[in-house]
A and B are shown apart, each in its own frame.
Chain A
Amino acid sequence: MLAATVRVTRDLDLAQECVQDAFAKALLTWQGGVPKSPGGWLTTVARNRAVDLQRRERVLGKALPLLVVEEQDPQGPFPDDRLRLVFTCCHPALTTETQVALALRLLCGLSTAEVARAFLVSEPTMAARITRAKKKISQARIPYRVPDAEELPERVDGVLTVLHLLFTTGHTAPAGDRLTRHDLVERALDLARMLHGLLPTAEVTGLLALIELTDARRATRTDDLGRLLLLEEQDRTRWDRAAIDAAVAKVRSALQQGPPGRYALQAAIAAVHADARTWAETDWREIAALYALLERQWPSPVVALNRAVATGMVDGPEVGLAALDALGDEPALAAYAYFPAARADFLRRLGRTREAATAYQEALLLTTNAVERDFLAGRLGSLRVGPA
């Protein structure tokens, strides 16, 4: 909806404001019942509001900062406005962090606070980054279009980063009372499919497969009461086998196209999980090996954390805990809840109850998703029941 409004207003700030206005109006109007196509309704209202405001601006003699390049693009090959907006947000003239932040804020309507949390930075830092980026888009005239065929390959990496972050943010919502934000996952999936249709490289295929594999387990990630279920506890008979098989075929084709990149590797890891009919059958050795490859491709503290966990699953909790503790100095992990949560789990398995409790408490302090908080609190509670 924002993308459609940007086309009319050619100004991101104004578009955002109009979209917010439309939501406010909807809250009032829909008290009598939700229209058949709420998205369409909102877009219409936002557009009208934009035209309205523009008219007023013109009377005031103020020129709108121009943002959008082409007016006539009748039946171009890429009709989706969101994809254009993705390429604007992912322009290499912006830093990668900024690209992702902008896309999350503008494409997905995440609040600045949510985007900040996804990046492990403070809200004012993120707000400043987004403001600066919008200014650059408008003043340097970063175009609003899908790049030409010859430019496309070098522009795709940035888009993949954005889609991946979009997906992970939806997969486990940074805040709120539900575990996932399915709207974000769906959007990441749509955009990944579109991009795959446009440019089916190994990495694009890998990312699409990764999203599909994870989404195929969606129904089992929480129980009937919305409580978090670990991979270990999920009812695997309810996984979408057809979707998994189709995605695994994609992973194979991505891996056959040469040395795998980070998305093909992550998809391969997800495929190993999806392939195991039971938790006990999980091939942790394979997973640890894939994480080692991934860490070489993508040396990030979060990948190192996952690799340490996989290592612990192969060689036992003591080895896993040591591998985790070796990462203790990583500043990026200092506010990352999964780090103390993973430590807590290994400590619990080792019977070091008191230390496990401390680690769960630490994880709780860093977790803002209500479903995850309940899970951690439950684990903490069950520790107290056991022997001290």
Chain B
Amino acid sequence: MEEWTMSQYLVLIYESVQAYVEGGQGLSDDVLKGHMSFGEANGDKIAGGNALQGPETATTIRPGGDGAFTITDGPFLETKEALGGYYVVEAADLDGAIALAKQIPAPGGALEVRPVRVFD
């Protein structure tokens, strides 16, 4: 049997902007601490990741049919919970990826796990 390989999963962190407004500095500190301990506990399983500036800084670029582009202010999807950051993690299977995602803070929001597509 061939060797079992790890798969990469993208974990998208959706957070509520409102939760941060209400939670103040205390919540921001907690979330930061949460990310640090996630990183310390799982260093070898994290292939990448970043925190993003707020959705108010987003710009959306939409290709038109004629080679022209429409540029608009704001994120592609306006939702109460906005994409706030992401990780790329390595796990043997979906359960492993879910177990990692459960350790990531997402105040007032949720985490979405998507397998990374591999072309061979």
Give residues in A with beta carbon < 8 Å to B.
63, 66, 69, 71, 91, 93, 139-143, 147, 151
Contact = CB atoms under 8 A, between A and B. Distances in A.
A143 B1 contact: no
Given A63-B120, A69-B4, A143 B115 contact: no
A91 B92 contact: no
Given A69-B92, A147-B95, A151-B95, 11 more contacts: A69-B4, A69-B93, A91-B94, A93-B98, A139-B115, A140-B94, A141-B7, A141-B115, A142-B93, A143-B92, A143-B93
Nearest to A72: B1
Contacts of A63: 120
15 contacts: A63-B120, A69-B4, A71-B1, A71-B4, A93-B94, A93-B98, A139-B117, A140-B94, A140-B113, A140-B114, A141-B7, A141-B94, A141-B115, A143-B95, A147-B95
Nearest to B92: A69
A74 to B, nearest CB: 15
Nearest to A138: B115
Interface string B35-55: 000000000000000000000
Contacts of A142: 93-95
B9 to A, nearest CB: 8
Contacts of B93: 69, 141-143
A12 to B, nearest CB: 15
A351 B113 CA distance: 61
Interface in B23-74: none
Contacts of A140: 94, 113-115
A69 B92 CA distance: 8
How big is chain B's contact interface, by range?
10 to 19
Contacts of A91: 94
Interface in B91-112: 92-95, 98
Contacts of B114: 140
Contacts of A147: 95
B3 to A, nearest CB: 10
Contacts of A141: 7, 92-94, 115
A63 B120 CA distance: 9
A139 B97 CA distance: 13
B99 to A, nearest CB: 9
A4 to B, nearest CB: 16
A69 B7 CA distance: 12
Nearest to A148: B95
A65 to B, nearest CB: 11
Contacts of A66: 4
B4 A143 contact: no
A66 B92 CA distance: 11
A63 B2 CA distance: 11
A357 B95 CA distance: 54
Contacts of B95: 142-143, 147, 151
A103 B92 CA distance: 23
Contacts of B113: 140
A57 B92 CA distance: 24
A7 to B, nearest CB: 11
Contacts of B94: 91, 93, 140-143
A89 to B, nearest CB: 14
Contacts of B115: 139-141
* Across the A-B interface, the 9 shortest Cβ-Cβ residue pairs: A143-B93, A141-B93, A140-B115, A140-B94, A142-B94, A143-B95, A141-B94, A71-B1, A69-B93
Nearest to A93: B94
A140 B117 CA distance: 9
Contacts of A93: 94, 98
Nearest to A69: B93
Nearest to A67: B93
A93 B111 CA distance: 13
Contacts of B92: 69, 141, 143
B92 to A, nearest CB: 6
A142 B96 CA distance: 10
A82 B92 CA distance: 22
A241 B98 CA distance: 47
A53 to B, nearest CB: 16
Contacts of B98: 93
Interface in B77-102: 92-95, 98
Nearest to A8: B1
Contacts of B7: 141
Contacts of B1: 71
Contacts of B4: 66, 69, 71
A151 B93 CA distance: 15
A93 B95 CA distance: 9
